[in-house]
């Protein structure tokens, strides 16, 4: 009850503070400065995404940011995180944005709120809800009437919640960003930006500073800036700071200089090396920015984790891994790094650092190996995963048409003819979004993958079940192709024949895990199965018991997957995310302590999609005390250049 009352108490405190005179935040164009409570003000801020950090650790991370010398934090609001189904809103538990804002306020941090509706953020579909795609022709991030109607409804829920937390009303929010890097989008729809400006003013009033963020070039600012929204830029360390701020001056001849995304690291993709940016490079450019009296936000100060299915992707299709470590000053697990202290030292050259102790790195514990047992293939437990049964259709339906927005869908038809000899099964229009695990009568055949593997050979008798488990690996978050439909988005062909007569099973695996529908079956001997290059997608379960007699357990840990290939893992029903050690660079997944319990064994469920080690070696996963997100594997390509999105320019 106390936890439920806290947001109400916090709101009451903010409303009382609203009567305190003298609180103001604005822009003094003549002095090229922000003004806070009537005095010139320059902020040094850092990005933290509350959706990527367990709420259990919000206070710890915020305090570490405060002790680094930051004045403010910057955070995105992912629309799809809070409105998973049209008209269904979720601001509870780890999604309690108001509680997060109150914690920031209590910590003495101001807040720069990036309210969307689009956020990018390497987050699924850039934060836009997939249900928008139920209108196939919708033009996202434009004046499309259906899109604007949905945006207006959402902002009518979000922004009134935010208004009491504005600085002028006693809260921490000093600025609110409208849209995100719109100058990098093909639509260039000024009417859309005007609509958002009017909508934000309607709900937030005329006093709060509204702003935009775009790349530091006139090309990006041309379509990203709008009169009435203060234009800021983003740019990376190691570049020409003077030229970058001159680009901002092309849109804002007067006013404060602002780098809204000063990159402390860079994003990762499966199959590429982990991005690393030297602390010295960041320190040098940060010093140049601060020496000019400019405002800066360090993106990211802590990256966090893409739990469950929340990772995004870029084009050509490259999904991002579960870790969003970003090589940030605070690691994915909130650990203090050399980069943290290097940045803190630079900040200390320009302002007085707060007194007191910096919260230490949280302890990690290696719980060791856990033996798993086979609990059945997806096909064997299908009835429990798809309680409503199949949807029948002549041609395949997409995830959105099934109102299944994340996870997995099983597509089933029968072979129309004998395939005694290997026969090509093809996705000629690149219609597998994103990865498909193919079997015939329970015998694995191979994998189709978006833009990588469009054809495999299969064998089987006429009338045999052809089962295709399709994984949504994350929607495109940047550029024009974020209307990213999932599933079989075009027909499959067997030789020259289009396959028809589908039974389509939306799978509620998260629900099945939470309701203990997946459990070890009798006579499941995991060691007697012949090792195959592919196995059908299979569930494995086990338990982790926290050792007794050791104080302060449970602690954070990392789970490693020796010999496993690709899949998903849940602990006590919590979806930790995807593992893919066969492709890397991430080998371990972060397990925050709040997921674990000491009083009873912790239930573990693993969905291995391709091949487990259980037929050739121990059927184990291992809990270790150090992460490995930078494995040197046989990567498909060399590391892409840092801070460069030009490789995706044709997809803008």
Digit-coded pLDDT (tens) for 44-61: 999 999 999 999 999 999
**Number of neighbouring beta carbons within 10 Å of residue 321:** 28
3-state secondary structure of 300: strand
pTM over 0.85: yes
pLDDT in tens, 254-275: 999 999 999 999 999 999 999 9
Please give the helix or strand (H or E) that residue 46 lies within, else none.
strand 44-48
Q: Which of 261, 332, 449, 535 is catalytic?
A: 261
3-state secondary structure of 339: helix
The 10 Å CB-count burial string (b at 16+, else e) for 410-429 is bbbbbbbeebeeebebbbee
pLDDT at 22 (0 to 100): 84
3-state secondary structure of 490: coil
Distance, in Å, from the CA atom of 312 to the CA atom of 331, rounded to the nearest integer, reads 20
326 within 8 A of 276, measured Cβ to Cβ: no
pLDDT at 316 (0 to 100): 94
Report residue 564 as tokens: 């496993």
Q: Which of 98, 122, 181, 471 is catalytic?
A: 181
Average per-residue pLDDT in the chain?
93
Closest to 382 (Cα-Cα) out of 442, 425, 429, 451: 442
* Percentage of the chain lying above the pLDDT 70 cut: 92
pLDDT at 636 (0 to 100): 53
Distance, in Å, from the CA atom of 70 to the CA atom of 387, rounded to the nearest integer, reads 50
Beta bridge pairs of residue 371: 620
Q: Mean pLDDT, 10 residues at a time, over the chain (652 residues)?
A: 45 48 93 98 98 98 98 98 98 98 98 98 98 97 98 98 98 98 96 98 98 96 97 97 98 98 97 96 98 98 98 97 98 98 98 96 98 97 96 98 98 97 96 98 97 96 98 96 96 97 98 85 52 82 95 97 98 98 97 97 98 94 98 62 58 47
CA 124 to chain centre: 6
Distance, in Å, from the CA atom of 221 to the CA atom of 250, rounded to the nearest integer, reads 8
Distance, in Å, from the CA atom of 335 to the CA atom of 330, rounded to the nearest integer, reads 5
Distance, in Å, from the CA atom of 312 to the CA atom of 316, rounded to the nearest integer, reads 13
Distance, in Å, from the CA atom of 96 to the CA atom of 164, rounded to the nearest integer, reads 15
Report residue 632 as tokens: 């040197």
Q: Find all residues with CB under 8 Å of 213, minimum gap 6, and list them.
A: 114, 177, 180, 181, 224, 232, 233, 234, 260, 261
pLDDT at 525 (0 to 100): 53
Distance, in Å, from the CA atom of 484 to the CA atom of 475, rounded to the nearest integer, reads 6
Q: Where are the alpha helices (DSSP H) in 374-480?
A: 382-385
Q: Let me know if 207 is a catalytic residue.
A: no
Which single residue is written with the structure tokens 């990690």? 364
pLDDT at 78 (0 to 100): 98
Angle, to 10 degrees, between the axis of helix 145-162 and the axis of helix 190-204? 30
pLDDT at 165 (0 to 100): 98
pLDDT at 358 (0 to 100): 97
Pairing state of beta strands 419-426 and 455-460?
antiparallel
pLDDT in tens, 107-155: 999 999 999 999 999 999 999 999 999 999 999 999 999 999 999 999 9
Q: Let me know if 181 is a catalytic residue.
A: yes
Please give the helix or strand (H or E) that residue 204 lies within, else none.
helix 190-204
């Amino acid at each position: 009850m106390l936890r439920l009352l806290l947001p109400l108490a916090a709101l009451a405190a903010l409303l009382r503070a609203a009567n305190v005179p003298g609180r103001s935040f604005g822009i003094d164009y003549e002095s090229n400065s922000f003004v806070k409570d009537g005095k010139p003000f320059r902020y040094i801020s850092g990005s933290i995404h509350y959706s990527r950090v367990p709420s259990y650790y919000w206070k710890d991370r915020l305090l570490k940011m405060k002790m680094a010398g930051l004045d403010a934090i910057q955070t995105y609001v992912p629309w799809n995180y809070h409105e998973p189904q049209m008209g269904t809103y979720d601001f509870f538990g780890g999604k309690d944005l108001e509680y997060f804002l109150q914690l920031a306020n209590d910590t003495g941090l101001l807040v720069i709120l990036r309210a969307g509706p689009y956020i990018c953020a390497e987050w699924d579909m850039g934060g836009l809800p997939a249900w928008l795609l139920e209108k196939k022709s919708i033009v996202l991030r434009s004046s499309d009437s259906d899109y604007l109607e949905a945006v207006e409804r959402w902002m009518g829920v979000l922004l009134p919640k935010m208004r009491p937390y504005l600085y002028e009303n006693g809260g921490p929010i000093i600025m609110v960003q409208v849209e995100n890097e719109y100058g990098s989008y093909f639509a260039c729809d000024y009417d859309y930006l005007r609509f958002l400006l009017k909508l934000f003013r309607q709900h937030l009033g005329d006093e709060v500073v509204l702003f935009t963020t775009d790349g530091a070039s006139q090309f990006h600012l041309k379509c990203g800036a709008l009169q009435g929204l203060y234009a800021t830029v983003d740019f990376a360390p190691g570049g020409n700071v003077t030229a970058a701020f001159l680009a901002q001056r092309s849109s804002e001849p007067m006013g404060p200089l602002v780098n809204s995304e000063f990159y402390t690291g860079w994003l990762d993709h499966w199959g590429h090396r982990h991005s690393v940016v030297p602390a010295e490079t960041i320190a040098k450019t940060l010093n140049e920015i601060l020496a000019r009296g400019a405002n800066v936000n360090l993106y990211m100060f802590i990256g966090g984790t893409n739990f469950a299915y929340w990772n995004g992707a870029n084009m050509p299709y490259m999904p991002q891994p579960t870790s969003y470590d970003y090589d940030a000053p605070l690691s994915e697990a909130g650990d203090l790094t050399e980069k943290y202290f290097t940045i803190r030292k630079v900040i200390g050259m320009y302002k007085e650092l707060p007194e007191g102790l910096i919260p230490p790195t949280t302890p990690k514990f290696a719980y060791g190996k856990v033996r798993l047992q086979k609990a059945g293939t997806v096909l064997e437990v299908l009835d429990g995963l798809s309680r409503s049964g199949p949807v029948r259709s002549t041609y395949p339906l997409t995830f959105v048409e099934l109102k299944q927005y994340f996870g997995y869908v099983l597509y089933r038809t029968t072979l129309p003819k004998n395939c005694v000899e290997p026969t090509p099964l093809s996705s000629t229009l690149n219609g597998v979004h994103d990865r498909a695990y193919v079997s015939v009568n329970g015998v694995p055949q191979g994998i189709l993958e978006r833009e990588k593997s469009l054809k495999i050979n299969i064998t089987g008798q006429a009338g045999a079940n052809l089962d295709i488990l399709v994984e949504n690996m994350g929607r495109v978050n940047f550029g024009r192709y974020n209307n990213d439909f999932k599933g079989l988005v075009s027909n499959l062909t067997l030789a020259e024949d289009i396959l028809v007569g589908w039974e389509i099973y939306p799978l509620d695996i998260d629900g099945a895990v939470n309701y203990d529908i997946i459990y070890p079956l009798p006579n499941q001997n995991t060691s007697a199965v012949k090792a195959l290059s592919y196995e059908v997608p299979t569930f494995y379960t086990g338990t982790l018991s926290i050792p007794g007699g050791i104080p302060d357990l449970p602690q954070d840990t990392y789970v490693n997957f020796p010999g496993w290939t690709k899949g998903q893992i849940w602990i006590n029903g919590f979806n930790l995310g995807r593992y893919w050690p066969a492709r890397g660079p991430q080998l371990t997944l972060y397990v925050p302590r709040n997921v674990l319990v000491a009083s009873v064994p912790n239930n573990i469920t693993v969905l291995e999609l391709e091949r487990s080690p259980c037929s050739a070696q121990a059927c184990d996963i291992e809990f270790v005390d150090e992460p490995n997100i930078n494995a040197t594997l046989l990567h498909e390509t060399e590391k892409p250049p840092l801070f460069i999105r030009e490789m995706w320019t044709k997809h803008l």
